[in-house]
Amino acid sequence: MTWTSLNAGIALPEIFLLCATCALLLIDLFVSDARRGVTHALALVTLAITGVLLWCGYSPAPELAFSAMFVADPIATLAKGGMVLGVALVLIYGRSYAADRGIYKGELYSLTLFSLSGMMVMASAVNLLTLYVGLELLSLSLYALVALQRDSVNATESAMKYFVLGALASGMLLYGMSMIYGATGSLNVYEIGHRLLVGEGNRLLAVFGLVFIVTGIAFKLGAVPFHMWVPDVYHGAPTVITQLIGSAPKLAAFAFIIRLLAQALEGFAPDWRGMLIVLAVLSLAIGNLSAIAQSNIKRMFAYSTISHMGFLLLGILVANPVGYSASFFYAFTYVLTAAAGFGLVMLLARNGFEADQLDDYKGLARKHPWFGFMMLMVMFSMAGIPVFVGFFAKLAVLKAVVNLGMVWLAVFAVMMSLIGAFYYLRVVKLMYFDEPVNDITLSGGLGAKIVLSLNCLALLVMGLFPNYLLSMLNDAVVFSLPL
């Protein structure tokens, strides 16, 4: 083994991110609380350089590194770009919110960047062990981040629930992986995929492994019936962490599913399609129906996430590049939409006031017409109203499902979105047609407000010109998956 055979240059963005995070961890030790802006700026610079390295390292053909444990293919690179952007938005929107709540510490930054490293490893891993290590790095950082507000009963309770259920899910996933290894004798994703396609290995054992893996994925994704942790964690965590959990990891989860189901277990597509149909139908139904009953906007977003994950699964269960790229587009745009939604919640929150009740949004459009309009765009995009990007994301997924011949499934998804439109439009109604019940003031710096506005406008612009991103993601999927 030599340095050149490692081919470590492929992983340069990850290596840089990890080194910079370790440096940040040490630099922050010498930064006083009053000058925490240094840490904030360094974290953003780290993310920017990581993004540039990703951009420079883009190659259309998959390249392997670290003895075929790590791959840089277009799916991974684009997903990582989305994650870096998502995490940068978390840090920008969350700064003043975190400062008001005593969690504006170095750990907020180091743990967030470590979770990003975990996500990036998840996206690039082509070995079951590397996949698992990436997932654990992400999960462990998130458990700690949820509990960052130590004195809050809600936060510690939700961290505990998240930890226990997350550990259970990891166990399931690992058990499934061990069965796949037992059935095929390999940990490499490509190798497993090849052996199962040509009919080698113990198929019965592999199917058992598949069931455990799908269960583990559904837990991590928060798909019904494995969704019970989602509302509690979204509600209990500080909103800045809720934004982190609700945005970038969805892209990591997408890449994770592609590696496990589309690449390793490609030969079992008819088997896992049935399981994903059940998960998707239940997620769409329960997510949308339960969201109606919520009076807390963070819980509402949690149930809406569950229904969006149903849509994500709809694209994947099509099991061809068209479906995968539709799901990729869905995940990508969902990251931006969710980031904007939670960013607006944090904009209204101030010291001692969370702005997490729906009634807190009454009359927002009269007091602050611009940010009322921004919230309207986020809600319209999540509801899937045309011109906004959420519509095209849903359209792409539904087209893929109809092409497969499952019209009933597409009709069901549309009906559930229609039910979902009710609770999104209710927020718009509260903002535009109700009298304000309390004085609404905006927190956050000018920079955060500008980025937030650009983020919301991007939902409109991407909706006006969806083809550019859609074709880019489609190419990425076609180049990455061997046909």
Partner 1 sequence: MLQNYFPILMFLVVGVLVGVVPMLLGWGVGKVLGTVNPDPAKLSPYECGFEAFEDARMQFDVRYYLVAILFILFDLEVAFLVPWAVVLDEIGMFGFLSMMIFLAVLVVGFVYEWMKGALEWE
Q: Which residues bind partner 1 (CB under 8 A)?
A: 1-3, 22, 25-26, 29
CB of 23 to partner 1, least distance (A): 9
CB of 5 to partner 1, least distance (A): 9
Torsions phi, psi of 299, nearest 5? -70, -35
Q: Which is nearer to partner 1, 4 or 467 (CB)?
A: 4
Instruction: Give which of 176, 160, 190 is closest to 218, Cα–Cα.
Output: 176
CB of 301 to partner 1, least distance (A): 34
Q: List the Cα angle 420/421/422 in 5-degree steps.
A: 90
Q: Which is nearer to partner 1, 3 or 468 (CB)?
A: 3
CB of 35 to partner 1, least distance (A): 16
CB of 6 to partner 1, least distance (A): 9
The answer to whether the beta carbons of residues 470 and 332 sit under 8 Å apart is no
Q: Which is nearer to partner 1, 25 or 289 (CB)?
A: 25
Tokens standing for residue 357: 């009740």
CB of 22 to partner 1, least distance (A): 5
In whole angstroms, give the CA distance from residue 226 to residue 220.
Answer: 8
Q: Which is nearer to partner 1, 75 or 159 (CB)?
A: 159
Instruction: Give which of 191, 73, 119 is closest to 481, Cα–Cα.
Output: 73
Q: Which is nearer to partner 1, 23 or 41 (CB)?
A: 23
CB of 299 to partner 1, least distance (A): 31
**Which residues lie below 8 Å from residue 398, measured CB to CB, with a gap of 6+?**
314, 410, 413, 414
In whole angstroms, give the CA distance from residue 381 to residue 48.
Answer: 27
CA 360 to chain centre: 27
The answer to whether the beta carbons of residues 345 and 467 sit under 8 Å apart is no
The answer to whether the beta carbons of residues 331 and 250 sit under 8 Å apart is yes
Q: Which is nearer to partner 1, 21 or 152 (CB)?
A: 21
In whole angstroms, give the CA distance from residue 463 to residue 388.
Answer: 4
**Which residues lie below 8 Å from residue 211, measured CB to CB, with a gap of 6+?**
176, 275
Q: Which is nearer to partner 1, 31 or 277 (CB)?
A: 31
In whole angstroms, give the CA distance from residue 309 to residue 334.
Answer: 10
